Amino acid sequence: MANDNYLLEVKDLKKYFKVKAGTLHAVDGISFGVKKGETLGLVGESGCGKSTAGRAIIRLHEPTAGDVIFEGKSTLHYKGQDKKRMRQEMQIVFQDPYSSLNPRLNTFQLISDPLKVNKEVLGGESIENRVKTAMELVGLEQRLVDSYPHELDGGRRQRIGIARALALQPKFVVLDEPVSALDVSIQAQILNLLQKLQKDIGLTYLFIAHNLSVVKHISDRIAVMYLGHIVELTDYKTIFARPQHPYTQALLSAIPIPKVGLKRERIILEGDVPSPVNPKPGCCFAGRCPYAQGPCLESMPPLVEKEPGHFVACHFVQESADGIKLPAEITGKSPRKVAI
């Protein structure tokens, strides 16, 4: 039964790929919900499966198993017109604002294409008016309507990508690292634009990124992903103040402090990232976790609610008020730290 509090629910979503060496578990059973008007940040290091998860949700990749519920209805069985309508309401903005745009089309053609394909313009409204409105919405000057992607800078290209996604007036947008390829000053402009659009139009975002500082700026809640699994999920204030999973703690310790002379204890994870191809039983993080013990090598811990709204996937997190510190007391192990 769908939860009425969520616009989007993801339940035990999996996406596997067949490769020469076996089966690659890109997304291995993730579950979460996104409320209407909310931004859920999805973070993790490169290769953890976060982009694949975003694309599987909107069915650019067909999921291997699980379910995606949008507005109370499962979308994975949609076909024909139902699938077409779903894609109008669930859009995506890609990471690279250059490779995601057809270099042979100008600004007008890029933004109007979704309208033509979906035959979205009805009555007396013209495609020209819809394109003009979309350009104004994202802060693109009308003089750029005939410009091609190679004639524009990265910020303007990404604004075209955003305008193209919003042309069909969606309710839910996957933002797949939308600022990672941009200069820092342009990143701030795009983030402010996305927040303004969310406030003005009532959009709901899944914001995928690897930069925790960026995610903190825009997200209401944050999900941390590692090797196809969500290992921690809570609101942005809690995850920065009281991270419980050892992987989350290591990620946060790597954030640079923009102040001369101020040092931070850095958690250095030892060991190599395991292969997602034919993964071994046990916790996905056990090979790099300084607290790993017997149960960690036997089964993947479920994502459980440690405190209201704070979910953690760790075998020992419920046994201590301080999260994963109890196993360190038992084993005498502690993370290797260096000052930076």
Residues 301-322 pLDDT 10s: 999 998 999 999 998 875 544 5
Q: Is the pLDDT of residue 181 over 90?
A: no
The reported pLDDT for the residue numbered 209 is 92
40, 221 Cβ separation under 8 angstroms? yes
User: What is the rounded distance in angstroms from the CA atom of residue 254 to the CA atom of residue 265?
Assistant: 9
Helices (H), 17-152: 50-57, 80-89, 107-117, 127-137
What's the confidence (pLDDT) of residue 201?
A: 93
- Inform me whether the pLDDT recorded for 339 exceeds 60: no
- Per-residue pLDDT at 325: 47
* Cα 190 to Cα 204: distance, rounded to the nearest angstrom: 16
Average pLDDT, the chain: 87
pLDDT at 334: 42
Extract long-range pairs of 101-104: CB within 8 Å, 24+ residues apart: 101/149, 101/157, 101/160, 101/161, 102/149, 103/148, 103/149, 103/150, 104/148
Q: Which residue has the higher pLDDT, 319 or 295?
A: 295
* Residue 142: Cβ-neighbour burial (10 angstroms; 0-12, 13-18, 19+): exposed
The two three-digit tokens of residue 316, written as one number: 């020992």
| Residue 138: DSSP 8-state | T
Helix (H) / strand (E) element for 158: namely helix 154-166
By three-state DSSP, how is residue 312 classified?
strand
Residue 15 C-beta-side C-alpha neighbours within 13 Å = 25
For the beta sheet containing 39-43, the strands, ordered from the edge strand earlier in sequence to the opposite edge, are: 90-93, 172-176, 204-209, 39-43, 221-226, 229-235, 310-312, 304-307
Beta bridge partners of 235: 221
d(CA 220, CA 40): 6
Q: Looking at the predicted structure, is the pLDDT value of residue 166 above 90?
A: yes
- What pLDDT was estimated at residue 119? 79
Counting DSSP H helices and E strands in the chain, the numbers are 10, 14
Band (pLDDT 50/70/90 cuts) for residue 122 is: low
Q: pTM for this one?
A: 0.88
Alpha-carbon distance 226 to 228, whole Å? 6
Structure tokens at 334: 């502690």
